[in-house]
Chain A
Amino acid sequence: MTDWLLTSFGGLTPYILVAIFGFLPSEIWRVAAVFVAKDLDEASEILIWVRLVATALLAGIVANIMTHPSGTLAAVPFGARIFSLAVAIALFFVSGRRVIPAVLSGLGALLLCGWWVG
């Protein structure tokens, strides 16, 4: 399907991919929310399930990037990636669930490990 898009739209293909397969499937929920906001209970069971599926999906994405990264991140050894993730999560809890110091410490750990390994 991507091949067909490539031959049909040439240089515009990335924009069409973003619009149709990124923007539309994402935006539909925001637009839908405007119309259901009146009727839907925020604590309804289906929304709880949806939120949990979305949360698990995000964790899966992160795990996938850690175990099978693309591009330059793949050059950093697996152990270093997992160690840096662990450092960030540990600092997140130690710092009282603060995101920015945790991200920066994880980044610092990754850079140090990468530099150490050479």
Chain B
Amino acid sequence: MSLDDFRQGILEAMSGPAFFVAIALSGVGGLARDVGHPLGAAVVSTLLIWAGPAQIIFYGMLATKATPVAIAAAVTLSSMRFLPMCVSLLPLLRTAKTSIWTQVLASHFVSVTVWAECMRRVPQLPRDMRMAFFMGYGTACCLTSAAFTAGGYFLFSALPPLFAAGLLFVAPLYFLLAVMRNARSIADAAALVAGAALTVPVSALTGGGADLLIVGVLGGSLAYLVHRKFRR
């Protein structure tokens, strides 16, 4: 691991991608303030959870007074996407000498955007510089986003209400479109449409915090049937 490669990762992240993620996560600062959480908790949520959709779910469900167990279940379902993402990225990053702990740290930096950008960028690099590059890239994205989460938290009270509404609007919009960009198959599209379409009737029927879990499992399973049908 060389410092130069680490710095190269930081530079590439700061040339654009880090700010796109950070702007999206500034909205999380607004959501956190909305449920009465302190600034520190909002920043810690970005550093620790480091998953925009999971953070939106976390604060979105706190706002609906969902039980913590239902929140944890929804968060874990949404973050399951990191399993295939990390599984596909880690073999590109590691060498024969890479320790388990280095891989655990690297996998922490995986988010939708970091994964999508690095799956494209990392294979172009020589293998022995990849891990340091990735660590720099992830650190830069994570810290920039933490700063923007704090900024969003403060801006939220200082902004005119309409701009504060805009901040709340940006985060879900960004993650929806980022997932749409990565959606390659008709099954992905079906999952997006089914998830959106099922939300209104399911929340009307059930109420309470678990309804988004039902939407996810139902919509995802429907999309999986589409996947099976079109594969043959």
Contacts and interface: CB of A to CB of B under 8 A. Distances in A.
Interface of A: 1-2, 5, 11, 14-15, 17-34, 36-37, 40, 42, 47-73, 75-76, 81, 84-85, 88-89, 92, 97, 99-100, 102-103, 106-107, 110-111, 114-115
Given A60-B195, A64-B212, A22 B162 contact: no
Contacts of A59: 176, 179, 191-196, 199, 219
A18 B41 contact: yes
B131 interface: no
Given A56-B198, A59-B196, 11 more contacts: A27-B48, A29-B79, A49-B220, A53-B219, A55-B195, A56-B219, A57-B212, A58-B175, A62-B175, A72-B165, A75-B162
Interface residues on B, range: 35 or more
Contact of B80 (A19, A50, A65, A71): A50
* SS class, residues of chain A in contact with chain B: helix
A48 B26 CA distance: 31
Contacts of A73: 165, 168-169
Ranked nearest first, the 7 interchain pairs of A and B with the lowest CB-CB distance are: A53-B220, A56-B219, A59-B195, A57-B216, A33-B86, A56-B195, A25-B76
Contacts of B178: 99
